């Protein structure tokens, strides 16, 4: 049975709505475009993927360079996918296809957003209620997104049974959807979901299959709300994005089998560091609205591994 060796999730680039929330009062969410910075981020993501396919392991056969892109139909995701594809389309022997998938859309925030005062009240209420189960008025909760993800996964598992399924699956989507996808796949609890920070724009989340067990492991650990002192940031970034592929003093990989994904991880160090200041401000606002953490669970690194990927992909009963 064929199945992808790699599943790469990537959040769209910076959008106009990320920079100016008032955009959502006048522009339908599905029509919010990338900023100039977002376009550049997506272009860079395409170059990172090109470097990925230039690794020696992809020179073995033409089959290794087969790629299937699924993208959210939202404009910012389409634009991101377009720029990424532009980065790889001239790679020798590359064979790719692109499909839009409405189930990969952003969480529905209720059509046009209301006044800043009304939205502030909603975000405060959500912080007290809980991000996962709180349903935005006239919109969705993250739990609703979970149901969409479950349906999409069922479709994927059926496709994985095709002998010619591509070697690499790339999902171009949104921050909440990507986290919910991983939550569903690795069976994380909702407390663990709520402990996660959002994903940096155009950062690849790498899932790699173990050829022996057929299970996937998440190779790029996610950031949580537990920030470190500035003096420890560089060390922690190395741990977060390079733990599986870190170099030792002899410039060799501690996990030689993961040499293939090292180029992607290295390219994302700056992106993660850039987002720490932004995440710190979000955390302060979140804690102010919530009051106290009320025992919010800390995310366990072990849950971002093969441990929770218990069945083979042929089991579509997730």
Choose among 271, 261, 221: nearest CA to 241. 221
Q: Per the annotation, does 76 bind a ligand?
A: yes
Say whether 125 is catalytic. no
Q: Per the annotation, does 296 bind a ligand?
A: no
Residue 48 · residue 267 · CB < 8 Å: yes
Residue 46 neighbours by CB under 8 Å, 6+ apart: 83, 84, 85, 86, 87, 88
Residue 135 · residue 144 · CB < 8 Å: yes
Q: Per the annotation, does 14 bind a ligand?
A: yes
Q: Per the annotation, does 13 bind a ligand?
A: yes
Q: How far apart are CA 227 and CA 280, in angstroms?
A: 7
Q: Per the annotation, does 269 bind a ligand?
A: no
Please list, residue by residue across 54-65, b when 16 or more beta carbons sit within 10 angstroms of its beta carbon and e when fewer do. eeeebeeeeebb
Say whether 30 is catalytic. no
Q: Per the annotation, does 187 bind a ligand?
A: no
Catalytic: which of 82, 100, 101, 106? 106
Q: How far apart are CA 219 and CA 203, in angstroms?
A: 13
Catalytic: which of 12, 82, 201, 262? 12
Q: Per the annotation, does 18 bind a ligand?
A: yes
Q: How far apart are CA 52 and CA 215, in angstroms?
A: 21
Q: Per the annotation, does 236 bind a ligand?
A: no
Please list, residue by residue across 142-177, b when 16 or more beta carbons sit within 10 angstroms of its beta carbon and e when fewer do. bbbbbebbeebbeebbeebeeeebbbbbbbbbbbbb
Q: How far apart are CA 317 and CA 314, in angstroms?
A: 9
Binding site, by residue number, is 11-18, 76
Binding site for substrate, by residue number, is 11-18, 76
Q: Which residues are catalytic?
A: 12, 106
């Amino acid at each position: 049975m064929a199945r992808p060796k790699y599943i790469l999730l990537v959040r769209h680039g910076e959008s106009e709505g990320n920079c100016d929330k008032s955009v959502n009062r006048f522009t339908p969410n599905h029509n919010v475009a990338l900023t100039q910075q977002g376009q550049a981020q997506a272009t860079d993501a395409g170059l990172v993927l090109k470097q990925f396919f230039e690794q020696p392991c992809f020179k073995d056969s033409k089959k290794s360079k087969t790629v299937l892109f699924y993208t959210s139909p939202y404009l910012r995701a389409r634009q991101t996918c377009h720029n990424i594809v532009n980065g790889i389309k001239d790679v020798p022997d590359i064979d790719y296809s692109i499909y839009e998938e409405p189930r990969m859309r952003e969480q529905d925030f209720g059509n046009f957003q209301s006044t800043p005062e009304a939205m502030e009240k909603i975000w405060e209420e959500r912080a007290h209620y809980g991000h996962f189960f709180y349903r935005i008025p006239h919109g969705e909760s993250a739990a609703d997104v979970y149901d969409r993800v479950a349906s999409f996964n069922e479709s994927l598992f059926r496709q994985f049974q095709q002998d010619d399924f591509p070697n690499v699956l790339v999902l171009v989507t949104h921050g909440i959807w990507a986290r919910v996808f991983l939550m569903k796949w690795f069976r994380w609890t909702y407390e663990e979901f709520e402990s996660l920070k959002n994903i940096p724009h155009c950062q690849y989340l790498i899932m790699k299959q173990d050829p022996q067990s057929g299970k996937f492991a998440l190779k790029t650990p996610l950031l949580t709300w537990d920030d470190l002192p500035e003096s420890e940031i560089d060390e922690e970034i190395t741990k977060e994005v390079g733990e599986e592929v870190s170099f030792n003093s002899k410039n060799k990989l501690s996990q030689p089998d993961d040499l293939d994904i090292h180029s992607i991880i290295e390219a994302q160090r700056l992106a993660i560091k850039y987002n720490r200041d932004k995440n710190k401000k979000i955390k302060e606002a979140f804690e102010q609205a919530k009051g106290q953490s009320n025992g919010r669970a800390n995310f366990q690194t072990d849950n971002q591994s093969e441990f929770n990927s218990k069945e083979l992909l042929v089991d579509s009963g997730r």
